[in-house]
Structure 1
Amino acid sequence: MRFLWFLLSIGLFGTSLSAETPLSGPEFDAYTAGRTITYNANGQEFGAETYLRRQRVRWSFLQGECQEGHWFERGDTICFVYEAVDGPQCWQFFMTQSGLRAEFTGDTGTILFESPSDKDLSCPGPDVGM
């Protein structure tokens, strides 16, 4: 029985049994406002987002192109709307000892972790240069 509880507690069955509460909109804003946060998935750099005033954001998969958008609170999720993406992309954010953990609420099951980084987001775009 203890082994089953251990497996459940570390999430091997795809759900977390912890009493974690997702960040609210004001909590998320207090942590992110004015910052650029780099995220990783499975130990690999995934992308970065700059959190601007009035819930505006700028996202990049770190390939030079950025998406402008905004976020809003919907229930226990933080949803993002970007210029080139249909519909909101909603996530639950949790504060951990090492920073944010973001769990996508769509059907991909993506989980991102905040990575320590002092990089600024660079958005030169695809048509810069010759």
Structure 2
Amino acid sequence: MKPLLAALLLCAGLAQAEPLDTAEAFQDYVGGKTIYFDRGDGRGVTAAESYLEDRQVRWSERGGTCIEGQWYARDGLICFTYENNPDPQCWAVERTDTGLVAVLRNGGFPTRIFEGDPGNDPFECLGPKVGV
């Protein structure tokens, strides 16, 4: 009965999300890319993160200064630390038909972000750290 239900859900376009809960799975999806994030609050894409070599990242809010950091996998979550905040931010990350969905698991705001399309308005870093 379960295979039939799964097949019906897939046909209906309700495919399950794929957890990206290991370093390898996460790296396979984000490696070398810049992912744009939407908080789902109607404002559209408001932040971007570039995934660089050696698990380094560059985060930027729209119109803001870039912040350097790094990521790692821990206990099924993907965690990030940044130059301005050494306390890890750990997220449950899933890949869906529309891109990444991440839910913050250790406090803070926003608690859920979605991969989005930046349109024709790419992000730029202000000051000496140029490009995202």
Q: What's the TM-score bracket when you normalise by the shorter of the two chains?
A: 0.7 to 0.9
CA RMSD of aligned residues (A): 2.4
What is the CA-CA distance between 1:20 and the residue it aligns to?
6.0
Q: Between Structure 1 and Structure 2, how many residues are aligned?
A: 110
Deviation track 1:66-119 (CA, whole Å, cap 9, x = no partner) reads 100100000111100100013111111001110000000122461000002366
Q: Could you list the runs of 5+ residues in structure 2 that have no partner in the other structure?
A: 1-15
- Of 76-85 and 117-126, deviating more is 117-126
The ranges of structure 1 where at least 4 consecutive aligned residues each deviate by more than 6 angstroms after the TM superposition are: none
What is the CA-CA distance between 1:23 and the residue it aligns to?
3.0
Asked if 1:125 is matched to 2:123, the reply is no
| TM-score of the aligned structures, taking structure 2 as reference length | 0.73
From 26, 29, 32, the counterpart of 1:28: 26
Greater RCO (Cα-Cα under 8 Å, separation 6 or more)? 2
What is the CA-CA distance between 1:63 and the residue it aligns to?
2.0
Q: Could you list the runs of 5+ residues in structure 1 that have no partner in the other structure?
A: 1-17
Any idea what SS the aligned residue of 2:28 has?
helix
**Structure-to-structure mapping, 1:1-130, within 5 angstroms:** 21-41=19-39, 42-44=41-43, 45-108=45-108, 110-117=111-118, 120-125=122-127
The 8 Å contact of residues 36 and 49 in structure 1, kept in 2 or not, is answered as yes
The 8 Å contact of residues 36 and 120 in structure 1, kept in 2 or not, is answered as no
What is the CA-CA distance between 1:19 and the residue it aligns to?
8.3
Identity over aligned residues, as a percent? 38
What is the CA-CA distance between 1:61 and the residue it aligns to?
1.0
| TM-score of the aligned structures, taking structure 1 as reference length | 0.74
